[in-house]
Structure 1
Amino acid sequence: MADEMKDPAQRRFEALRGARRLLSGQRPQTLREGLAGLAEAPYPLDSRPDVYGDGVVEELERKVAGLLGKEAAAFFPTGTMAQQAALRCWAELTGDRTVAMHPLAHPEVHERFAYAQLSGLRSVWPTSARRIATADEVADFAEPFGTLMLELPLRDAGFVLPSWEELVAVVGAARERDAVVHVDGARLWETAPHFGRPLTEIADLADSVYVSFYKTLGGISGAAVAGPEGFVAQAKTWRHRYGGQLYQQWPAALAALAGIDRELPRLDAYTAHAKVVAAALAEALAGVPGARVFPEPPHTHQFQLWLPFAADDLTEAGLRLAEEDGTALFGWWAEPGLPGLSCTEVTVAGPALEWTAADVREAVGRLLARL
């Protein structure tokens, strides 16, 4: 009972910290460990701190522009602000305030409709299927739009991606309509193994790209928008207007540089092992009606797992497994659709590489026994 009375976030933090094995995500750090990790960044720590975006922040911007093959990049304190600025800039440059996106895209689900409330933009949906729109859906869509926004991968649909040929075709369809293409690439870093292309070639399809530094890379916070120099300069103007011109941002910038160095080289291994983990989960849950891994196989190192149990029961069983057995399988569960049908997101990162398929199957059996 004492464990159940704790603050839920603190209890989960302690359970994951104390677990011997962790399947999904990275082991959480204390504040002291986070501070020590900043020293891993490939940047001289004897340098002066940044002031209003110079110094280490400019170094990070140059690094991101190079990785994505773009002329310039701008650092933002949050992805929501970055998306807001990017879409607003394209609306001004194209003269069209309509953005074609997916109803499960991040601005629709997780940003409180900032694009509409703050910038007066409107969205249209070429498709509502759990995938990005096809070239035909974009080409034949009845309403005009100035910007096509593609979320790669589409997180709330299950971290799904099109094939490379489908992506090229949908971008081409937007170009035929004289629309610009903006990629919500919060997790773009992890798409290269699926597409079999370098990041520069993927980003080259778009006029602008947004990337996150804490998703995939494990940074503290922050994001960047990359694109043509003039567009990025305009985005920086809106960054200032939206309150994103912070006096110092060196902790976030250092953590981002460290994450780029540490995590980018590992993503191929993470994605390959995600297929092993997903297959083992599907096998372990084959006898549970309604259980599903989606997509199978995963398109990135992240995927969804659906189980026919209440979210609170699954979360409690998982915490008990971590506290009593030292085995942490999943994070929080939610019921995004029918009550009693719950979903969690599985992220295969460094700790999961130690797990064999047999380890996964055995641990899932112990979780089910606690339900």
Structure 2
Amino acid sequence: MKAFKQSDYHVSGHGPRNLHVLKDAIGKLHGELESDMYGKGKVIEDFQEKMAGVLGKEAAVFFPSGTMAQQVALRIWCDEKDLKTVAYHPLCHLEIHEEDGLKELHHIKPVLLADENRVITLDDVMNIDEEIACLLLELPQREIGGQLPDYTTLEEISAYCREKGIRLHLDGARLFEVLPFYKKSAQEVCGLFDSVYISVYKGIGGIAGAVLAGSKEFTEKSKVWKRRHGGDLISLYPYILSADYYFDEHIHKMVQYYEEAKELAEFYNQCFGITTLPKVPVSNMFHVHAEAPKEDMQDLLAKMYEETGIGLTGHVRENGEKGSRFEVSLGDLYSRVPKRRLKEAFAKLDERMKSR
């Protein structure tokens, strides 16, 4: 959306994904540092050790993508039980965004749990009518606005899986973003799971990549599968340096992003014909639902951007025949938007929604 790109202020994210992401990280380096090579070397090993400590696991492995990391994790747990069946949410990333990679590459069958509009509950897990090797939980559940189960439910699911010999894997692409809501540390949450994946480019803000963590035995097996998947590039240091730099830059701001997301959601919910999901965010992200078709909403927003200089989103999606929606994810940019201009923008949005 041209008007969005030309806005004076953008509300979501950390800023443009340009080469400065790497430049800033390299600028922090002092002295000589050799490149990693095929998964070995100080730069990658130090970062893996750091992330293992942050997550409270014995070891961690850096992967070039979360898609690769999670398929590898589920393959390891299936091989352990000699059982090619796992369970996850119907809107799990592996189910809707990976071209059936888990099924085609690893011949693993998924059991889909829960209605697609809500999170997985303990009853859903207890009522699985076939044996599974692993259960995957995504925190937060992105495709339904970043909803979360309460922490007691997580503890109950974890205890049940351990009792039944079911491995529990965490899709924690946005793990750090939900910690302020749970009021728990990463180690406490990850302690409920046998394996954990985190993204290093979403809330953290690096270039790309992922970390897979678990026991030493698990991570050693994951290194073999990483090589089989072609994940051992000759060098991964651009991804690692940016991930390490921006982790330190952003990790202490997750409470700020969470509080700002709740404030921003209130602005949206005060507008005619607009609601957020969840109504009160449980992380730095949420979805905005509008009672206007995609094309109408795009035109309405473009005019508002031109009048106010405030860009809310550049990506509007269809939501049924008469509605639209888009995702909001708070980062460094929100605090730079003048509150007066932000309030004026939402007053314009409310006015335009009423006059449609």
What corresponds to 1:97 in structure 2? Answer: 84
Contact 2:269–2:276 (Cα < 8 Å) also in 1: yes
Q: Distance in 2 between matches of 1:29 and 1:114?
A: 27
Instruction: Tell me by how many angstroms 1:34 deviates.
Output: 2.9
Judging changes above 3 Å, is the alpha-carbon distance between structure 1 residues 306 and 242 closer, same or farther for their aligned structure 2 residues?
same
What corresponds to 1:302 in structure 2? Answer: 285
Judging changes above 3 Å, is the alpha-carbon distance between structure 1 residues 162 and 328 closer, same or farther for their aligned structure 2 residues?
same
Moved more, 123-132 or 297-306: 123-132
What corresponds to 1:21 in structure 2? Answer: 9
Q: Distance in 1 between matches of 2:347 and 2:113?
A: 42
Contact 1:77–1:223 (Cα < 8 Å) also in 2: yes
TM-score by length of 1: 0.89
Is 1:159 the equivalent of 2:146? Answer: yes
Instruction: Tell me by how many angstroms 1:135 deviates.
Output: 1.3
Q: Distance in 2 between matches of 1:35 and 1:92?
A: 38
Instruction: Tell me by how many angstroms 1:262 deviates.
Output: 0.8
Q: Distance in 2 between matches of 1:218 and 1:63?
A: 17
Judging changes above 3 Å, is the alpha-carbon distance between structure 1 residues 278 and 347 closer, same or farther for their aligned structure 2 residues?
same
Judging changes above 3 Å, is the alpha-carbon distance between structure 1 residues 323 and 253 closer, same or farther for their aligned structure 2 residues?
farther
Instruction: Tell me by how many angstroms 1:216 deviates.
Output: 0.8
Q: Distance in 2 between matches of 1:228 and 1:151?
A: 20
Contact 1:26–1:350 (Cα < 8 Å) also in 2: yes
Q: Which aligned pairs between 1:217-366 and structure 2 lie closer than 5 A? A: 217-283=204-270, 285=271, 287-288=272-273, 291-322=274-305, 325-335=308-318, 337-355=319-337, 359-366=341-348
AA aligned to 2:283 is T
Provide the secondary structure at the position in 2 that maps to 1:350: coil
Contact 1:24–1:331 (Cα < 8 Å) also in 2: no
Q: Distance in 2 between matches of 1:134 and 1:325?
A: 43
Instruction: Tell me by how many angstroms 1:313 deviates.
Output: 3.6
Provide the secondary structure at the position in 2 that maps to 1:153: coil
Judging changes above 3 Å, is the alpha-carbon distance between structure 1 residues 52 and 320 closer, same or farther for their aligned structure 2 residues?
farther
Aligned length: 352
The alignment yields a C-alpha RMSD, in angstroms, of 2.1
Instruction: Tell me by how many angstroms 1:321 deviates.
Output: 4.2
Contact 2:268–2:276 (Cα < 8 Å) also in 1: yes
Provide the secondary structure at the position in 1 that maps to 2:279: coil
AA aligned to 1:276 is E
Judging changes above 3 Å, is the alpha-carbon distance between structure 1 residues 208 and 25 closer, same or farther for their aligned structure 2 residues?
same
Contact 1:135–1:171 (Cα < 8 Å) also in 2: no
TM-score by length of 2: 0.92
Judging changes above 3 Å, is the alpha-carbon distance between structure 1 residues 367 and 152 closer, same or farther for their aligned structure 2 residues?
same
What corresponds to 1:5 in structure 2? Answer: none
Is 1:111 the equivalent of 2:98? Answer: yes
Instruction: Tell me by how many angstroms 1:367 deviates.
Output: 4.1
Contact 2:293–2:324 (Cα < 8 Å) also in 1: yes
| Correspondence for 2:112 among 100, 121, 125 | 125
Q: Distance in 2 between matches of 1:131 and 1:321?
A: 33
Q: Percent identity?
A: 33
What corresponds to 2:175 in structure 1? Answer: 188
Q: Deviations over 1:103-157 (max 9, x none)?
A: 0111011111111110010111231253332112211221211101001111001
Q: Distance in 1 between matches of 2:64 and 2:348?
A: 41
Q: Distance in 2 between matches of 1:83 and 1:249?
A: 18
What corresponds to 2:66 in structure 1? Answer: 79
Q: Which has the higher contact order (CA 8 A, sep 6+)?
A: 2
Contact 2:15–2:332 (Cα < 8 Å) also in 1: no
Q: 5+ unaligned residues in a row in structure 1: which ranges? A: 1-7
What corresponds to 1:171 in structure 2? Answer: 158
What corresponds to 2:18 in structure 1? Answer: 30
Q: Distance in 2 between matches of 1:189 and 1:296?
A: 21
What corresponds to 2:195 in structure 1? Answer: 208
